[in-house]
Structure 1
Amino acid sequence: MATMTGTANHSKTAKPGQLLADIFTYGVLGIVSLSMLVPFLWMISTSLKPEYSVFEFPPQFIPSSWLFENYVSIFKAAPFMRFLYNTLFVTMSVVIGQVLFCSLAAYAFARLPFKGSNAIFVLFLATMMIPSQVTTIPTYIMIYKFHWLDSYAAQIIPFLSSAYGIFLLKQFFHSLPKETEDAARIDGCSEFRIYWNIILPLSQPAIATLSVFTFMGVWTDFLWPMLVTNTVEMRTLEVGLSVFRNQYTTNWPLQMGASLLVIFPVLLVFLFTQRYFVQGISLTGMKG
């Protein structure tokens, strides 16, 4: 009885200290969050300013006049809708290809053991240690010899699969119970039907995670589209942002407004898939 009373008293005395610790923790996190939001809010502010007021001192966080016409000028200054179409087409094609080809390879490694599978998988993982800059020139030479420069093929085909995607899905497939697959085999299901009707529906969190990572990577890619495209009609949004700069000046309100339009779809995709994203990350950390 005395022990119970002592424990209760201890919990009561510990509550004020815990409350102060929580207040301090949330206060620090709030300050850090606000500091990360400041550049984003400054972009919004700059996109609504007149061009001459961008470099005023002291700087004005809230514009004296709100020029929403800047966003209309973005579409007049550049073929922004063409850039958007190119980016959407390339991004969705790569996302679909990554999910399809990476899941097929991951299923083979996780559920169809064959001689040398572990060695081949280790080789796949080893390629993750090679910086992408190292493979840029050889890949460009291949694209040039295939006569794919300035085409959608040059922007899509080199990224239809990845070692990271195969590793991510393989680890998730290992966490799925095999009993359902064994029952399907007894019923006469083929391996492809098991993969398509059982494995993929159960792997939505991992597939959503891979899709989000791929979407963000392709949507924000600048270097590769810049290298393989020569005409304005084939440019993506990231490369198209350069039209608001010239040799001597930059139209910062239009530049910031266009950058916000480019960032918005990435934020939207992440917010709608956040539940699958977090769940997929936690589950793929299970033993393989």
Structure 2
Amino acid sequence: MNTTTLRKDSTGTAAPRPATPRPGPPGGAGGVRAAAGHVLLYAGLLVLAAAILLPFAWMLTSSLKRDNEVFTVPIQWIPQEFQWENFTEIWTTIPLLTYLSNSLFLSVTITALQVLTGSFAAYGFAKMRFPGRDVLFFGYIATIAVPWQAYMVPQYIMMEKLGLVNTHLSLILLQAFGAFGVFLMRQFYLTIPDEISEAARLDGLSEYGIWARIVLPLSKPALASLALLTFVNTWNDYMGPFIYLTDNRLWTVQIGLRQFVGMYDARYAMIMTGSVLSVLPILVVFLLGQRYFVQGIATSGIK
């Protein structure tokens, strides 16, 4: 039943006034369009995720096949007979544990050094003022655009003269510093108010103390992002170990898997088995640091 309110007109008599209409139930054309948009968005994301995961699914199923079943046309997604022994045979066929240990050692060491040097240099470029700071920063960042092949030979000559070829130290020294890490950390440091550093200086804290006790604890997302990107890049590096490491005992897993490629044929199933095992450490590291990684990437460009 519609209700009305009374109001007085100019003659003093009460006149009915319609009540304010109540809002209708939610929905309508706008709600349908919004729901349809969300459905299309999630459907598109599912298709994109499936396209990205498809090669990994093929790699996983191929690791459980025989060599002659890997590249069949059309693709046979489910093996006729699962070759579970591939995951046990690979450990005795090649020294896979040694290769994984070398990869882990190089990845952890280089990641720790890049996080240390990148965050330290970024603090100077972001929070300290000195003549030519911006010019020096842009000149250093410009080295990212120079391809590694342009200075690959001079680097090798330097390492050879120092007697560091065929050692892990050569790779560690060459990759301990990275312009991308400095850029990433500087962008995050710019989001930290300068008033915090100024207050710490007034309290007598040195620049090293400000960096270690104030800035670094506030930069966990950016540090996690840099660490994850550096770890993955070092773990997947093929050309560096291929050029500098000749001793089989020093090889990384990426070089070690090359042993399954012969002169006339290749053990494709074993290659896929080793690839699956080599992906597991990266998967574990990413799952552990996913939250910090997303947060660091999202906030590193906001000043």
Give TM class, smaller chain. over 0.9
Q: Distance in 2 between matches of 1:259 and 1:5?
A: 66
Listed as ranges, the gaps of 5+ residues in structure 1 are: none
User: Deviation of residue 100 (structure 1)?
Assistant: 0.8
Tell me how far apart the structure 2 counterparts of residues 250 and 167 of structure 1 sit (CA, whole Å). 42
2:244 aligned with 1:228: yes
Name the amino acid aligned to 1:120.
L
* Alpha-carbon distance between aligned partners in 1 of 2:190 and 2:198, rounded to the nearest angstrom: 14
Name the SS for the 2:229 alignment partner: helix
Q: 1:181 aligns with which of 181, 197, 211?
A: 197
Which among 147, 150, 153 is matched to residue 169 of structure 2? 153
Secondary structure, counterpart of 2:163 in structure 1: coil
C-alpha displacement of 1:226: 0.1
Match of 1:13, SS state, is helix
Gaps of 5+ in 2: 1-17
2-structure distance, mates of 1:8, 1:102: 58
Is the aligned partner of 1:16 residue 2:32?
Answer: yes
After TM superposition, the structure 1 = structure 2 runs for residues 3-42 of structure 1, keeping only pairs within 5 Å, are: 12-42=28-58
2:122 aligned partner: 106
Residue identity over aligned pairs, in percent, reads: 35
Matched pairs, number: 285
Q: Are 1:165 and 2:181 an aligned pair?
A: yes
TM-score, reference length from structure 2: 0.88
The root-mean-square deviation of aligned C-alpha atoms, in Å, is 2.0
After TM superposition, the structure 1 stretch with the greater mean CA deviation from structure 2, 155-164 or 8-17, is: 8-17
- How far apart in 2 are the matches of 1:81 and 1:154? 22
The residue aligned with 2:6 is: none
CA distance in 2, matches of 1:248, 1:136: 31
1:206 match: 222
- How many Å apart are 1:238 and its aligned residue? 0.9
The equivalent residue for 1:269 is 285
**Bigger Cα Rg:** 2
Letter in 2 for 1:38: L
TM-score of the superposed pair, with normalisation by structure 1: 0.92
Partner of 2:206: 190
Q: SS at 2:83's partner residue? A: coil
The residue type paired with residue 179 of structure 1 is E
* Residue number in structure 2 paired with 1:237: 253
Equivalent position to 1:217, from 233, 236, 241: 233
Q: Please give the secondary structure, in 1, of the residue aligned with 2:216.
A: helix
State the distance in 2 between where 1:131 and 1:57 align.
Answer: 38
48-57 vs 181-190, greater mean Cα deviation = 48-57
Q: CA deviation at 1:285?
A: 0.7
Structure 2 counterpart of 1:115: 131
Structure 2 CA distance for partners of 1:178 and 1:57, relative to 1, 3 Å: closer
1:58-97 CA distances to partner (integer Å, 9 max, x unpaired)? 5421112222110111111111111111111111111111
Q: In 2 relative to 1, CA 117–8 (structure 1 residues): closer, same or farther, beyond 3 Å?
A: farther
Question: What's 1:86 paired with?
Answer: 102
In 2, distance between residues paired with 1:57 and 1:119?
56
Match of 2:159 in 1: 143
- Residues 193-231 of structure 1: CA deviation (Å, up to 9, x unaligned): 111111111011111111111111111010111000111
Give the Å deviation of 1:132: 1.6
- CA gap 1:6/1:217 in 2 versus in 1, 3 angstroms: farther
Residue type of the alignment partner of 2:296: G
The match for 1:45 is 61
Distance 2:27 2:61 in 1: 49
Please say if residues 107 and 231 of structure 2, whose CA atoms lie closer than 8 Å, have aligned partners that are also in contact. Answer: yes
1:5 Cα offset (Å): 6.9
The question of whether the paired residues in 1 share the 8 Å contact of 2:127 and 2:194 is answered with no
Contact (CA 8 Å) 2:260, 2:271: kept in 1 or not?
Answer: yes
- Rounded to whole Å, the distance in 2 between the matches of 1:235 and 1:13 is 63
How far is 1:108 from its partner?
Answer: 1.1
Question: 2 CA distance for matches of 1:123 and 1:175?
Answer: 22
Deviation at 1:22, TM superposition (A): 2.1
